[in-house]
Structure 1
């Protein structure tokens, strides 16, 4: 009989088989966040201090060593391989503690609570016992124990009290319990087995879904497969048109067919790139591939309720969710391969389950997960069900240039004084203890305001504030649990989680951080600011077997490798554009300075450049600016001088439907010229795909340097001290990345033809020219409107 291998964590096995009842994510305290970890560490340290010895003896030597009376081990990894029916189950987990007292062995499972401990009894949560009993069975079996104790240690984080519940179990009873879990999971094991066979056979038989490879496409696919096989990382600059999505997904799926990876995470920064990944998978499915793919949508965007509270008293999808969820999973997995947002919503309504939690469960049973960067990298929301264990996952990190600033945001946190003052007023006559805690923090921040009249930056953390914050967290716990309908609850809950985030991020503090205090509109902001996220990203990337960082604009690629957590052993691949340089004209107006002090004088010249460019051929154009004000000022002058030119202008707060309406104006074979005004680095400067003649030209005003501000200057000063590249890291590279992205909107296919006009005297500077991609050559400098007119006449005359 063939033995099929199934790998599953103790936690996932227990929760998947035994869960039932309501989904209830109402506030229950911080036990799932910061304080839970601290409570574990506190209890573990108490045991270690109690049982401390000068020399620790390995666990496997303890059983037969009668001289050892007491010992304690924390965070013990336990793994058990068991053949059950036609499966080899590999079940693993981490026991919080193992206590050894003479011949007595105790498995300790630590749980944090906020409710009074007198309300916690042996029936409080059967899943807690189940998880601990699994650890007890594995440990007893491996150490030839006939009996073993299981202890649940409940720690109340409000009063720092503990309660211990203990039961003794015989190895036979534990074995029966463990095998009963496997029996209940057997249906899902069979489902996974049958699907893996079907999937693997289809992968082996599928070919690249196009008749031929584009230039650079085969090279990229081979590099991705080799990187996965070697378990390494690669940074790829792949210009527009190569087909990065299919060229990374296809070899990753091929690697899955060879058991080189168990899951592929396609990580993106924007919704539109998620849809491109979905289309690539559909393309392969149409060619015979069998693959389960799920797209994760943010909770607040997929929730059926106006406010996503997951309260069974208010949400019919949360009430009884776990009683229905497994039937929903069976149904969708038997009928669907692509589980996108629409599919998840449809089945969630049919089975009356929470769509967000449904999608997370589907992810456990899917081959490819398409989701935001946050789910892999953000310490606040990353998918612990995947990344708390070592697995052979593959990360495909699309548009990787976006991860730099996103990572800085993920590993930074801030607090505003006004939030504490507002709540202080609300709590004055409601809850004296909370009022007092708020008052102390407000007073502390007032002192900072008086002490630092200008922005204050320091390389170390504000240690004095953390006891005050922890006190407020502690005082808020019980009130938040019991007063969810009272005024102030929502504001306090939001502040509570902001504080937890602030404390959590402070634990990452290293020499790549600063703390700054700044007055903003009569408010005071304290921010823990991550300047260089490379070491933190490196720790996250290590959770995957291989990571593929790719973008059309990883320039300079060594900068991106360094700041995204790469190392010298990682591969680098630069690919050439597959498109002919004959299909585009690049003109550089390097006689027009666009620095802030010259901008007002540049309006008239830029308007003439726009008029001349769009007058050379009827079609759709986009003009990109470094700021909304610059854009609006030039737009006003253009409309005043040439009111007959059809224009669009980007608004600073466009909703999804407004964005779609904006893009719908870029029609093929437009009967009149249309000029859109947009902002560099904004929603229309990357990620949009206007093929053929939907866009025939872009005019890019400035080198895209971000606005000078406190944070950019802090980054600049930090990297100046490291390697004297501060201006480049803080301003030049991010700015030119925006320019490269905007220019990349023009030529999207081998049939596209278009013009790119670059306006800024700095484009002729050697340092900026070094950042020009190879496909930007040849280019031509233009000194006047007449130069533009003559060159464009010659270019368009060829067609």
Structure 2
């Protein structure tokens, strides 16, 4: 929806899905009637359209403008087909709406209400523009697997369509009026907002670069050291750009919950100056659910029953009553109207000016917000992507797909008695996997798995029919779990290009898997970024910038800036131990003792809180054991707190709380690099005075990494650097970034691995590390004493 010259725009699809929805939320219905359910639906659309002959006009753009007092409502969309026939001087016109489905067409007994409503809108707009008295509406349902077609043809008098359409517009009008009034108020308030703090060094340059990027509809990469104030420096110019009509909605995207609170605070700070802006933070369904378990159906959840009958009233009441939609506000409103809090939040996001959320709400092909990022949607979105270094690995995960042979075999055994036909289909897939397994000792790179994708398409149809007819909820649940995995695999197979590697692998535990591995996610990310008008990637660790540009963007003319650090260099001591290593060949008790000695000497030289980061739990535990032995020799030297695997939120909070306590001696937190404590945590001032980074962070050698290395080597790009070195150094820089949080902080960073002396590593040090000195355990103490004086 967009406000321009007092025009409010909405797509036909958004209009009917919003105004005409009704009934329950029910996840037991697999949802494949949705046009977005399968990506290959588009190809089938085109195939059907091509078969239809010269009377058929495909993909006809339509729009209608309706005067509504102070503004004009523009309803627009694209009809799949218009069929025009001339018989005996009589002109017959039919609007065709095509829907690809996986259901057996026997179960499609009549058109789905919103599908028919969409076609009726196109029919009315076309009839008005061509002065017709009657028009036909044809719903074409096509099974995506068998390509079987079932059609429903309904003739309409245009007068009848007009009454129906006018009622639809009348019901939407109050929403459009609200939008017009609100945007007027919002834009006026933005004009008076100023940058809320005195500009720090580098901050004004960042803010100006962000504004310029949005103005020119470009992408910007910002490497900004900790303490620059990245969040407010990106949020403020983006808000200003909205006020200038350069964008309509801000998406502030993060990888971790903790960084969302910083974004919320930035908007709050601007609101204290009188900014009127509706902001929402989207929380995961599991966290919001009132029922403990997210079984979203009317039998198990009272909030799912009749949800769509009540939700629009809940949304309108909320958006006209408040501007900040916190989790507490959403939950209270959901209780009041007895609707699902998660779905309510998604609906409220449509009417919000800024949405703070995880990457997956924008980029994930299975979880993205269809109301913003699907055919017929889109707007002038501004993307602010925080901690953007995380998006490379997250992108790979989102656009890759994996299936295990064992899952098909297990399900075949479970359904054998209930459905021989489903068992046969599962067995057919299992046999194809078995043939691959016989040829595979470790892993095998494959040219194509199209024959498997075709078999999986057939399986999806059979599973769909089974879920339609099966009454046993446990069995249906088992089938549905694999159904979604298979559907994701088929969807990913459909978008595969030269950025993918297909391989099968026999895991150490004997499990056999087939993977569609997205090595470079840039093209897939671009498909979603195209919905926006400007994109800003920012992080304290975006080095080397060419690596991130290659894997996050397809453009060659993106902007990039290196923000100056506002941090006084004399407040940071950077040392590198030259006589220790975490290389596999050198690991052992003697080396672990040496590393523990460095940590003990640092702690003895200056009492305070330290964090030591390790390449793995194994190395961490070995060094921790040696450190404990040293502490026995020197009673009262330090207390320790150790990260454990699979820590929940309470354990995490308890770990960090130890850094707030007053104590007589020092505290050393033993952590894993790249883990939950190596980024996104804020221990300012003397809560943390030192970070010890043990090892270069290089990921363990595994098939994924080796395939990645070969992929980039094969394209004349540095494979080792792309697969191992850059991701490893990112973990090092993230861990080091825990120490310096504010301009008042003072702290030391100790790098423990002789490999940091090598040129390829030192070239990746940020500018602020220019004064890094090498040392051994003894000279380290001298450097520290001087520094802490």
Give yes or no for TM over 0.5.
yes
For 2:705 and 2:30, how far apart are their aligned partners in 1?
A: 39
Summarize the alignment of residues 340-359 of structure 1 with structure 2, pairs less than 5 Å apart: 340-359=326-345
1:390-448 CA-partner distances (Å, limit 9, x unpaired): 42111111111000011111110001111112112212222101111122222222222
Of stretches 428-437 and 484-493 in structure 1, the one that deviates more from structure 2 is: 484-493
Closer, same or farther: CA 116–762 of 1 in aligned 2, 3 Å: closer
Q: Using the alignment, how far apart are the partners of 1:687 and 1:557 within structure 2? A: 21
**Residues 323-349 of structure 1: CA deviation (Å, up to 9, x unaligned):** 211221122223322212222122111
Q: SS of the counterpart of 2:62?
A: strand
Secondary structure in 2 matching 1:209: coil
* Secondary structure of 2:677 counterpart: coil
Deviation per CA, 1:495-539, whole angstroms, max 9, x where unpaired? 111011111111122222111111121110111111111222222
Equivalent residue number for residue 564 of structure 1: 552
1:435 aligns with 2:427: no
Match of 2:498 in 1: 511
Distance 1:374 1:3, change over 3 A: closer
| Deviations 1:214-267 (CA, angstroms, capped at 9, x unpaired) | 111111111111111111111111111111111111111111111110101011
For the pair 1:631 / 2:623, whether they are aligned, the reply is no
- Tell me what 1:15 maps to: 17
Q: Give the C-alpha shift of residue 750 in structure 1.
A: 0.8
Aligned to 2:512: 524
More displaced, 418-427 or 460-469?
460-469
- Among 662, 675, 679, the residue aligned to 2:668: 675
- In 1: Cα distance, 2:113 partner to 2:593 partner: 74
| C-alpha distance in 2 between matches for 1:616 and 1:220 | 38
CA distance in 2, matches of 1:397, 1:450: 44
Contact 1:420 1:442 in 2 (8 A): yes
Q: Report if the CA contact (8 A) 1:29-1:481 is conserved.
A: no
Shift of 1:171: 3.7
Residue 705 of structure 1 aligns to a residue whose secondary structure is coil
Residue among 767, 770, 784 paired with 1:792: 784
C-alpha separation in 1, matches of 2:524 and 2:645: 32
SS class of match (1:468): helix
CA 1:26–1:85 in structure 2 vs 1: closer, same or farther (change >3 Å)? Answer: farther
Deviation per CA, 1:630-661: give whole Å up to 9, x if none. 11111111112314421011111000111111
**Is 1:539 matched with 2:532?**
no
- On the 8 A contact 1:416/1:526 being kept in 2, the answer is yes
1:110 aligns to what?
98
Once residues 102 and 494 of structure 2 are traced to their aligned partners in structure 1, the CA distance between those partners, rounded to angstroms, is 23
Distance change in 2, residues 1:383/1:114 (3 Å): same
- Equivalent residue number for residue 456 of structure 2: 469
| In structure 2, distance between residues paired with 1:261 and 1:34 | 26
Counterparts of residues 180-195 of structure 1 (less than 5 Å):
180-195=167-182
Once the two structures are superposed, what CA deviation does each residue of 1:270-296 show, in whole Å capped at 9, x if it has no partner?
A: 111111111111111122111101111
Q: In angstroms, what is the RMSD of aligned CA positions? A: 2.0
Q: 2:697 aligned with 1:704, yes or no?
A: yes
> Offset of 1:690 from its aligned partner?
0.7
CA–CA separation in structure 1 for the residues paired with 2:97 and 2:380: 28
Q: Report how many aligned residue pairs link the two structures.
A: 774
CA distance in 2, matches of 1:615, 1:299: 47
Residue number among 617, 626, 638 corresponding to 2:606 in the alignment: 617
Report whether the alignment pairs 1:714 with 2:703.
Answer: no
The answer to whether structure 1 residue 91 and structure 2 residue 68 are counterparts is: no
| Segment drifting more, 416-425 vs 684-693 | 416-425
Output the CA distance in 2 between the equivalents of 1:319 and 1:698.
52
1:200-211 equivalences under 5 Å are: 200-210=187-197
- How far residue 475 of structure 1 moved from its aligned partner, in angstroms, is 1.4
Using the alignment, how far apart are the partners of 2:46 and 2:166 within structure 1?
A: 30
Q: 1:152 to 1:319 in 2, by over 3 A?
A: same
* 1:687/1:37 CA distance change after superposition, 3 Å: closer
- The separation in 1 between residues aligned to 2:419 and 2:192, in whole angstroms, is 67
CA contact (8 A) 2:145 2:458 kept: no
Contact 1:648 1:662 in 2 (8 A): yes
For each residue in 1:468-487, what CA deviation from the matched residue of structure 2 results, as whole angstroms up to 9, or x when unmatched? 22222121112112325344
Q: Quick one: which of 271, 283, 286 aligns to 2:272? A: 286
What is the CA–CA distance in structure 2 between the aligned matches of 1:632 and 1:163, rounded to whole Å?
A: 64
1:194 alignment partner, SS class: helix
1:201-600, aligned counterparts within 5 Å? 201-210=188-197, 212-388=198-374, 389-458=377-446, 460-483=447-470, 485-520=472-507, 521-600=509-588
Judged with a 3 Å threshold, the aligned counterparts in structure 2 of structure 1 residues 487 and 391 are, in CA distance, closer, same or farther, namely: closer
Say whether residues 1:74 and 2:58 are aligned partners: yes
How many Å apart are 1:158 and its aligned residue? Answer: 7.5
Match of 1:152 in 2: 139
The SS at the match of 2:450 is coil
- SS for the counterpart of 2:624 is helix
- Please report how far the alpha carbon of residue 160 of structure 1 lies from its aligned counterpart in structure 2 after TM superposition: 5.0
Give the equivalent residue in structure 2 for 1:64: none
Point out where structure 2 has 5 or more consecutive residues left out of the alignment: none
Is 1:199 aligned with 2:186? yes
Aligned residue among 771, 774, 778 for 1:781: 774
Matches of 2:28 and 2:630, distance apart in 1 = 59
Separation of aligned partners in 2, 1:481 and 1:299: 25
In structure 2, the partner of 1:163 is 150
Structure 1 residues 295 and 595: alpha-carbon distance in aligned structure 2, compared to 1, 3 A threshold: same
Unaligned runs of 5+ in 1: 52-69
2:753 and 2:129 map into 1 onto residues whose CA distance is 71
2:31 and 2:378 map into 1 onto residues whose CA distance is 29
1:132 to 2:125 alignment: no
Q: Is the 8 A contact 1:625 1:679 kept in 2?
A: yes
Deviation at 1:708, TM superposition (A): 1.0
Q: C-alpha separation between the residues in 1 aligned to 2:39 and 2:709?
A: 35
1:666 aligns with 2:659: yes
Contact 1:261 1:394 in 2 (8 A): yes
In the alignment, the residues of structure 2 paired with residue 309 and residue 485 of structure 1 have an alpha-carbon distance, to the nearest angstrom, of: 15
TM-score (norm 2): 0.94
Cα separation, 1, equivalents of 2:328 and 2:367: 23
Deviations 1:762-799 (A, max 9, x none): 111111111111111212110x22101111111111xx
Distance (Å, rounded) in 1 between the aligned partners of 2:95 and 2:136? 6
Q: Specify which of 603, 623, 642 is matched with residue 592 of structure 2.
A: 603
Q: Structure 1, residues 684-735: CA drift from partner, whole Å, max 9, x if none? A: 0001111111111000011111111111111111111212400110111111
Task: Tell me if structure 2 keeps the 8 A contact 1:33–1:500.
Answer: no
Matches of 1:729 and 1:584 in 2, distance apart? 29
Contact kept, 8 Å, 1:29 with 1:113, in 2: the verdict is no
Q: Distance in 2 between matches of 1:34 and 1:187?
A: 29
Contact residue 35 and residue 100 of structure 2 kept, 8 A: no
* 1:116–1:631 CA distance, 2 compared to 1 (3 A): closer
Normalising by structure 1, what TM-score?
0.93
Are the equivalent residues in 1 in contact too, given 2:506–2:512 (CA < 8 A)?
yes
